[in-house]
Structure 1
């Protein structure tokens, strides 16, 4: 019944799309050609709108139709799920395709520019380092991920597909461990998803920085460079799909996104992350807010089909919150995808750029929020020695495209802990256990709230009887690069910050307020960690550890070798 329902919705979408004008402003364009039927296993044509069940959807587009269409132009993608072909051809020939007896409708392939990632806002104070996680501790701690790692959940046995601009993963030490099952470049039609020179479609990708965005996204979920960057699910299996072309004026094209998610399904993905969004287009053929109903945009239809086929689909809400558009972008409007907004990694305040809901038919979106402002990942460009796993370049980034992979990683940990969970059960747990940050109840800014990974998995931290700060250790701190741990207990989630002073009362270092989940944070690797600055000489220093319920003063001795 579910698949028949979506077949009817797809039929409605095709009728709506068929009424849109074809592109006319360029010499050539790319269009979707939707087919009336598809050959079944016995070779006989089956009307698509009546029998679009899973068995038929798994069959390829009828080859005879594709061969005829290829005489008009260059075929780009073939969608099994939509029973459609995208083809690049002269604009004058596009109208003729509708006269072919096997064609149901013809419409433009939608394309848009990537929204520029918001410029990052500097942290008010120094970020807290961590002996294992490094600066990435903040983003994982805000979600409650370190406790899951301590419990042995790091993504083993779960397959995650990342769909983005490309991936320079062989260049970074953070990916030396990475288990890449398969990679596919849907733009240049090969298996190399790193930046290359003289590509047939994208040209000089080094100059473009083609794979930078995708590499940074991958680092957030898959990175593993102790002391610098740990991703949410570093031990998962990965499928890497390159679906966005930065060389074109309108690079984000929905046919490649759809080809990517169908490929991910065929390769056995359990979780799909998509950090691309579609709204309005410069050529005037884009979607309107009224189209964000989960049944009109083709990427939204494909994302929903993927969920019904058993994939957890996590997508970014969009970076339109402080722009004229304001709302989420497709496919974030699909009913059963997990749509993720962005909060600041230290304060958990909503990022101004994070797109708002609701959908045009009144549903709550985003579903949840996660760190997406001032988060930490690899730099993303090609390393000095490509393919050496030697680069250690890191930086901060902003955008809901950074929040989405963190939640995709949490979903992978949930599936590692309980492989029987369905996508709808994963989504329900993420929503029902999220920490409500906005008005009471779900809203169109924070959704259901900040993802709480420990609660979503059912791994409850030990809740102490009272909130208090404990004595830091080691004290004295000896050596050239000592790390001092400041343990504490919280009975509810709270902001914790640290200030360190010299004997004259001057502030010599600070750690910005960070949101910590309730529980006992007393062990190395779980407590707040302060890396002693190299410029501090041997001596006695004073500290102040603060939350909303405790304000602890004390001293730390530093002894240099």
Structure 2
């Protein structure tokens, strides 16, 4: 992540009941939550130790009592009962104890083997594992930069430090609390309360770093440090706030799968009730999960039952960050989980390393959780989701991780609970070094909204990367520290006016925020950057400036606000009315242009007392009366008019022109119309002022070669037969001599279509199209190496071996008249090879899998490889490599490789062995001390003796030397043969 190890928030591992906005959770049908069932099943199948290890991996806070490890369980009383109605007899009879109560919940600690029995107790309606908390922060000495950046220093200078205000820091641990009080980082009257029962200074120092940020912003406020571990403790903490009139709380902790991040569930319910009923202002970290969160609908394009995180990709990579990786999946079916999903993590060898297969059949919570140890040698790891049963229409899923980023992360809707609660003032984070930029980006991990039900989150953004004593000099990174800065700001505002409510604090912080990013509140910055405005007034009298133009000034939330300016309107449309601050009076300036009525025959002006006035202009003033049929328009006694327009153009053929009031001069009707004879050309003769009609004999041509056509001016087209013997076309392509006889065209003689070629078949004549080719004598046989038809000898389907020649001296190529080209292999080919250039045990081609390497063996780039830059080295008597290939159907196989050895002594040697079955090994090549001259030598070994060959034929390279100075090298190894 950044400079340090950063925790996120509370990850809920149990199946949690959905609650209303404030109050007890809704009734549940299932007695056992999904992860509770998983732990109970593990205890029954594999014993208590296995169940305890599974619970630890999922992040549950285990307790040790009397040498026995106990698992925490959250119990919800049956209808009609409260936690105080229950005794601990049934729990102690199972070897457990009743550890804590709140208004709605009971926390029991029981052995793993007693989980199933506890779920059968009729006094409890729900038995589940608790939500698991984790921090939304990281690292950070001394006084934070936040007071100077946010304007809190101005409050301090004005004497407003939070005196008289109590602030609660509700967190997971306070290691170093006493030391910070002794050093003066926290006040001596700081209160500490531990609801978890594990000790205030245990678990983590996170809460102390958070408290320091509250103290730096509001050094006069008294801080209550309250340690919690689950929802029982959180509810007790909320009740403590109400009982002690504590108006402000900070919770830099996140929780997952307690709800579908939609303002429901026990965690959000506790915060909402405290806010809505008790009036507590809750500053809550939005979360550090932007890159550790995925959300989407069900996509399965290939219908194989596996979720696609991106187009065609059913695997989502997990990034390296923490060695213990924990992930949580849930979906939008709380209260009715009709879709059953399973959750898996695979390593690079496609082996399952973690899985969660809780059943969802209607009443169980829709959630899965898993944990595994991240080992670089097995990376990359991938997350996968399988649909076991149920519908996918409308399915919406969310995945959160503890400390590991995911490949297809979703920034939107990445806030953890209770930041999604309507009663939480959620805070994002901006690095303090970027705070004063024009557009400071939020931290890359800062969670964003909206909530899964579409509400705006976060509410504001505060600085992180700030200084504190707890975290040394590397900076306090995470929304864990922007949130208490905001809580401290709220304490200063409340100290300035103690009557303000939680809603007032939220409204003021939002109103004073500096808007960045998209205009207005958005899902990245909320209202904007945290900003405190120092009060400038106490009442309205402090704001009056004696200027009537500002209106009546008022004091609102300590700041002067101008009133509505006075109305200086005089009711006249042609005056410009303004308030003159210099003279403290209304002024009305004449605007003559506003009186122009568009009439050229009137003079218009503005009178500041009477408004618009008008008088006639001088007679003869040029104007436009708007009539296109008049000309030479002038004004006469204030009216515009003109003489008639003459439209006659003097042309006979145009007809008589006229004037249209709509469009002006209009052409008349032409005098020469058609004479009704289709073959004449009708025209108007302007020279003679007459209409002319000219015959067009071409218009009478009927396309018949055996007729003569002409135009008669009176009778239209006339036709007579052409002379006998006139050449014509009878339209029959199969006749050769066409001539007219008595006005009709006929032909004689037959067309000869035979082209004398064998392969074309017998030609014929079609009267419409002429000669037509016959059917091919030899239709194609589809064989590429045969000649379908040979015109030279009138033969069909002659094979040609030359057409099959692949120019490979190692093959025999023949043409079969039916099968086509038949290729026979004459030379051996490489079946598998290895050059060791890939520098790993999976290189080479043709093998079933990678090398199995043991002992002192390795791929190196020193001591001159035979080819390339790398070769294999074996040392001592431990270096062994084994690899398998498929030899089924191989003829005359050979094993070829280059080797060299050095420093062999006495009986030291190395062998190459083969095994058809992986059990019985036969030595086929031996290297002794006499051959150890450090020169590469080719070995060519026949494997013919091992026929018939198996599909899992193995080769083994084995060192049998004394120490690391005895060196054996192999390079450019291959197996050849005919298949």
Q: Same fold (TM over 0.5)?
A: yes
> Shift of the alpha carbon at 1:338?
0.7
CA distance in 1, matches of 2:529, 2:185: 31
The structure where strand makes up a greater share of residues is 2
> Shift of the alpha carbon at 1:149?
1.0
Q: Is the 8 A contact 2:211 2:223 kept in 1?
A: no
Please show how residues 120-519 of structure 1 align to structure 2 within 5 Å.
136=144, 138-164=145-171, 165-172=173-180, 175=184, 178-180=187-189, 182-189=191-198, 193-194=200-201, 210-222=203-215, 231-243=216-228, 253-279=230-256, 286-287=257-258, 291-296=260-265, 298-308=266-276, 309-324=278-293, 325=400, 326=411, 327-348=414-435, 349=440, 350-372=442-464, 374-380=465-471, 394-454=473-533
Please state if 1:12 is matched with 2:22: no
Q: Is the 8 A contact 2:429 2:462 kept in 1?
A: yes
Q: Is the 8 A contact 1:143 1:452 kept in 2?
A: yes
The structure where helix makes up a greater share of residues is 1
Structure 1, unpaired ranges of 5+: 38-45, 49-60, 121-132, 195-204, 223-230, 245-252, 280-285, 381-392, 463-561
Name the residue aligned to 1:540.
none
Please state if 1:90 is matched with 2:98: no
Equivalent of residue 75 in structure 1, options 98, 108, 114: 98
CA distance in 2, matches of 1:302, 1:93: 29
CA-atom RMSD, angstroms? 3.3
CA distance in 1, matches of 2:424, 2:31: 22
CA distance in 1, matches of 2:273, 2:255: 18
Q: Per-residue displacement from partner, 1:115-146 (whole Å, max 9, x unpaired)?
A: 673x89xxxxxxxxxxxx9863x321221111
- 1:320 match: secondary structure: coil
CA distance in 2, matches of 1:135, 1:306: 31
> Shift of the alpha carbon at 1:168?
1.9
> Shift of the alpha carbon at 1:408?
0.6
Q: Per-residue displacement from partner, 1:236-277 (whole Å, max 9, x unpaired)?
A: 112111235xxxxxxxx4443343333343343221111111
> Shift of the alpha carbon at 1:187?
3.4
Equivalent of residue 71 in structure 2, options 12, 23, 29: 29
> Shift of the alpha carbon at 1:417?
1.7
Q: Per-residue displacement from partner, 1:70-128 (whole Å, max 9, x unpaired)?
A: 54422232111xx21011213443344444343222221122554673x89xxxxxxxx
Rg comparison, structure with higher value:
2
Q: Per-residue displacement from partner, 1:266-318 (whole Å, max 9, x unpaired)?
A: 34322111111122xxxxxx45xx7101112x221111111121211111111
Change in CA separation of 1:76 and 1:266 when aligned onto 2, cut-off 3 Å: farther
Q: Is the 8 A contact 1:239 1:264 kept in 2?
A: no
Change in CA separation of 1:179 and 1:155 when aligned onto 2, cut-off 3 Å: farther
CA distance in 2, matches of 1:146, 1:69: 54
Q: Per-residue displacement from partner, 1:529-557 (whole Å, max 9, x unpaired)?
A: xxxxxxxxxxxxxxxxxxxxxxxxxxxxx
CA distance in 2, matches of 1:291, 1:16: 18
> Shift of the alpha carbon at 1:169?
3.1
Query: Using CA pairs below 8 Å that are at least 6 residues apart, which structure has the higher relative contact order?
Result: 1
- 2:444 match: secondary structure: coil
Change in CA separation of 1:459 and 1:446 when aligned onto 2, cut-off 3 Å: farther
Name the residue aligned to 2:84.
62
CA distance in 2, matches of 1:401, 1:99: 40
Change in CA separation of 1:435 and 1:189 when aligned onto 2, cut-off 3 Å: same
Q: Is the 8 A contact 2:33 2:129 kept in 1?
A: no
Name the residue aligned to 1:283.
none
Change in CA separation of 1:153 and 1:14 when aligned onto 2, cut-off 3 Å: farther
CA distance in 1, matches of 2:536, 2:77: 43
Change in CA separation of 1:420 and 1:233 when aligned onto 2, cut-off 3 Å: same
Change in CA separation of 1:63 and 1:70 when aligned onto 2, cut-off 3 Å: farther
Give the paired residue count. 368
- 2:234 match: secondary structure: helix
CA distance in 1, matches of 2:179, 2:425: 31
Q: Is the 8 A contact 2:431 2:443 kept in 1?
A: yes
Q: Per-residue displacement from partner, 1:153-208 (whole Å, max 9, x unpaired)?
A: 11111111112221523323653660435312233455xx33xxxxxxxxxx5xxx
CA distance in 1, matches of 2:240, 2:418: 17
CA distance in 2, matches of 1:347, 1:107: 44
Change in CA separation of 1:437 and 1:70 when aligned onto 2, cut-off 3 Å: farther
CA distance in 2, matches of 1:377, 1:176: 9
Change in CA separation of 1:233 and 1:323 when aligned onto 2, cut-off 3 Å: same
